[in-house]
Amino acid sequence: MIKVEETFGVWAALHDTFKKVENKALLKRLGSRLDRLLPLVIDDIKRLNPPKKNTKSSIEDVKKGENLVRKSSKSRRWMMCCFKVCCPPESDEDIARSSEDETEANRTRNNGTEISLNLKITLENEDSNLDKKRVFCAVRRPPDFTVGFDMPMMELKTLLLKEEVHQLLLTAPAGCGKTTLVQMLCQDKQIKGIFTNNILFVNVSKTPNAKVIVQNLFSYKGIQPKYQIQSDEDAIYQLPQMLNHMGPNPILLILDDVWLGSESLLEKLFNIPNFKILVTSRTAFPRFKHTYNLKQLNDVDAMTLFCHSAFLQDENSYIPEEDIKKIVRGCGGCPLVLKMIGSSLCGQHAVVWHSRLLKWSDGSFWAKQRIPAATLADVWAELYELDEDGIHTIAYLQELTIQNLAKLVMTRKDASEVNSYYNEDFVTQDHILRELALHQSSQEPIGQRLRLIMNISGNNLPRWWMEEKQQLINARLLSISTDESFLWSWCNIQAPKVEVLILNFQTKNYTLPEFVEKTNELKVLIVNNYGFFHAEIKNFQLLWSLPNLKRIRLEKISISSLCKTLVPLKSLRKISLFMCNIGTAFENCTIQGSYALPNLKEINIDYCNDLVELPVGLCDIVHLKKLCITNCHKLSILPKGTGKLVNLEVLRLRSCTDLSELPESIRNLHKLSILDISDCLSISKLPKHIGELCNLKVLNMKGCLRLRNPLPESIMDLKQLKIVVCDEERAKLWEPIKEFLTKLKVEVAKKDINLNWLLM
């Protein structure tokens, strides 16, 4: 520890040495901080008032301190250490938070004859280093320049100050500015007035230590614990003692950067009364009743922050505005990324900017692409042997949402079907996180990657594809995306281990690659048309020889082109048609469904707007277990032969608004357990013999507004019926029935104001 007088000499020498710094902006910051702290140092020396007899030695100590500093200042390493103390880097997250200057100087004063001022410098030689162990319990000032935080700060403050809010979670992906927002909040006059001198800031980070945290808090407030803190439990037990010494004013404890796995620490702190806790985390912990989700910057604010970081001025920018906009969009509204990319491009030649833009465009997906949860369920079911119903898939997606790694958007959802219906749900992923995933998957050599993602622009095939006449790919998942100018010049590749093949395109005509015929391990085929018009598909007959193909999903495809070349797919278990043109395609098939699809277990038809009548031939697929026809508004009738589907367990007909009735033949579906006719606006009555559905457990009739007649008498024979979902008016029809069906629970669906379904 340095003596008081020696410290003054060190400080004076620091002030003089920093004046030699060439960086004027840095010099201004350093000088400002030193000027603010120097009076406090002088005040400390006066307060300690050393005896006159030591004056001579005190002066010698001052000179000794100056000489040591000036000698050591020649060391670049020493200078960098000083810069880190007096001018720590300005970052939003993941860098240790330093306290405010005056607060730190005040709390490090001691009653003895020594002072540390948090420098704790050991000047032993030119390579002397700083002891960086400091107590970070005061909130650091926010960056000098911020944008887009005014509204979030107002919303966060309003929520925090509510009387019923004791624990509040501020969550967002990394780099979105959570710490900056907290710093701004604590500078707010109203917040400072309410929590006068009682705002405690703790950087928790990845491996929290309750003992160290509480010790730091005691030290920060200048309070001695009753006895030495030995363990985490000891620390939590003594924490209320410290809080009691902080006076009558409310207390705000900020736990910054709490990682997944630190829930135990939070639980311990939550049990301490009489103070508010604000937690920032990348994880949306379900434990919190009150949560604020910090959104990314909008386009205007993102552009402002980027231009500031890149030092672009409107009047003298030499970079094309369109290039700037594309790069800003590529940053995904993430403040940290905008600042980093902007700073890296500051002062660079226009060629460097254009090169960066080209590099990004090579490896990116369509912006903010929505991935259907049903697609992920198909992929994960086969790659990782998850359940075919997708229950585990939805659970995993919810976990990713909690960790802010993805966002699961659940559309119109009834309580009874949370685990059973997800066809309208979709997932989005932050642009930066998606790019990181792509980067990680590209670290292995092309032929050895487990997931190979190819984005082809125009007819420019990847160089590695063109270099070898026959390229061997060992990936389990292969995704190939092409744009509207691709000319179908497929090269010969071998992909014997591919289990999932995803083909994305944007043209009216698409030809399946020839190599598909030899992908004998293929289990899932997903074909997505992102163009404006429905597309015709050629080479569909290549699939007939694939022995393991179990799932096919087609989006915005004209089915008539498939029926012309329909071939037996004897291993296929599930087919999904999304926004496809069906029309009368199946009526013109030259092959019966029972022969072409002998093992098909599930059919999903969604948003196929030209479907008027369900093909009669589908009724011959007797092994079918699930038939889901949703959002097909022109569907008006089901075949009379529907009753032939004797193995059917789920019949879902939701939002088929023109469907007027169910065929009486469904009385033969004795294995049916779920019947969903929700939002079928034209259905006015239930089948007379519906009571013969002896295994029916769930009936969803929410939104059947024309169904006003009394329920058929046979309804009382539904002894296995457990849940009926309906609105208030339809619930009245079930009142007399509930006396006879003791297992029955009638759920009145809440009015759905969620418009997520419009995004589909």
Give per-residue pLDDT as tens, 422-435.
888 888 776 666 66
Query: Is the pLDDT reported for residue 123 higher than 60?
Result: no
CA angle 39/45/48 to nearest 5° reads: 140
What is the structure's pLDDT at 175? 86
Query: Is the pLDDT reported for residue 86 higher than 50?
Result: no
Chain centroid offset of residue 83 CA: 36
What is the structure's pLDDT at 88? 40
Taking residues 369-398, what's their average pLDDT? 83
Q: What is the mean pLDDT of the chain?
A: 77
Contact of 250 with 198, CB cutoff 8 Å: yes
What is the structure's pLDDT at 557? 92
Alpha carbon dihedral 544, 549, 554, 558, in 10-degree steps, equals 10
Q: Which residue has the higher pLDDT, 43 or 53?
A: 43
What is the structure's pLDDT at 105? 41
Query: Is the pLDDT reported for residue 550 higher than 50?
Result: yes
CA distance 279 to 723: 40
Q: β-strands 674-676, 698-700: how paired?
A: parallel
202 sits in which H/E element: strand 199-205
Structure-token pair, residue 306: 């980027």
What is the structure's pLDDT at 348? 84
Phi-psi label, residue 582: left if phi above 0, alpha if psi -120 to 50, beta otherwise = alpha
pLDDT bucket at 670, cuts 50 / 70 / 90: very high
The most confident of 7-11, 112-116, 130-134, 541-545, by mean pLDDT: 541-545
Give per-residue pLDDT as tens, 92-122.
333 333 334 443 344 334 333 333 333 333 3
Q: Which residue has the higher pLDDT, 317 or 694?
A: 694
Q: Which domains does the chain have, with CATH numbers?
A: 4-91 (no CATH), 150-293 (3.40.50.300), 299-362 (1.10.8), 371-431 (no CATH), 444-590 (3.80.10), 611-760 (3.80.10.10)
pLDDT bucket at 668, cuts 50 / 70 / 90: very high
Query: Is the pLDDT reported for residue 58 higher than 80?
Result: no
Query: Is the pLDDT reported for residue 498 higher than 80?
Result: yes
302 sits in which H/E element: helix 299-309
Claim: this prediction has a pTM higher than 0.85: no
Taking residues 716-723, what's their average pLDDT? 93
Contact of 398 with 419, CB cutoff 8 Å: no
Rg (CA), the chain: 34
What is the structure's pLDDT at 268? 74
Taking residues 343-371, what's their average pLDDT? 70
CA distance 592 to 395: 38
What is the structure's pLDDT at 115? 35
Query: Is the pLDDT reported for residue 568 higher than 90?
Result: no
Alpha carbon dihedral 647, 652, 656, 657, in 10-degree steps, equals 110
Bridge partners for 613 per DSSP: 637
- Residue 235 backbone phi and psi in degrees, to 5: -65, -45
Give per-residue pLDDT as tens, 523-533.
999 999 988 88
CA distance 686 to 675: 11
24-28, 44-48, 96-100, 756-760, range with the lowest pLDDT: 96-100
CA distance 583 to 11: 84
Give per-residue pLDDT as tens, 397-407.
888 888 777 78
What is the structure's pLDDT at 43? 53
Structure-token pair, residue 733: 């029809």
For the chain, percent of residues with pLDDT exceeding 90: 28
Query: Is the pLDDT reported for residue 78 higher than 70?
Result: no
pLDDT bucket at 359, cuts 50 / 70 / 90: low
Q: Which own/partner contact pairs does 241-246 have at CB distance under 8 Å and 24+ positions apart? A: 242/214, 242/217, 242/218, 243/272, 243/274, 243/275, 245/221, 246/197, 246/198, 246/221
Taking residues 456-479, what's their average pLDDT? 76
Using DSSP's 3-state secondary structure scheme, residue 293 falls into strand
Beta-carbon-side half-sphere exposure of residue 160 (alpha carbons within 13 Å): 28
Query: Is the pLDDT reported for residue 667 higher than 60?
Result: yes
Q: Which residue has the higher pLDDT, 269 or 160?
A: 160
Query: Is the pLDDT reported for residue 77 higher than 60?
Result: no
Contact of 104 with 138, CB cutoff 8 Å: yes
555: nearest Cα among 374, 367, 390, 406:
374
Query: Is the pLDDT reported for residue 596 higher than 90?
Result: no
What is the structure's pLDDT at 87? 41
441-455, 583-597, 607-621, 701-715, range with the lowest pLDDT: 583-597
Can you list the alpha helix ranges (DSSP code H) found in 544-590? 559-563
Q: Which residue has the higher pLDDT, 568 or 29?
A: 568
Taking residues 611-632, what's their average pLDDT? 90
Give per-residue pLDDT as tens, 280-322.
998 888 888 899 999 989 999 999 999 988 888 654 567 888 8
pLDDT bucket at 366, cuts 50 / 70 / 90: very low
453: nearest Cα among 422, 424, 481:
481
Query: Is the pLDDT reported for residue 378 higher than 70?
Result: yes
Bridge partners for 255 per DSSP: 202, 279
194 sits in which H/E element: helix 189-194
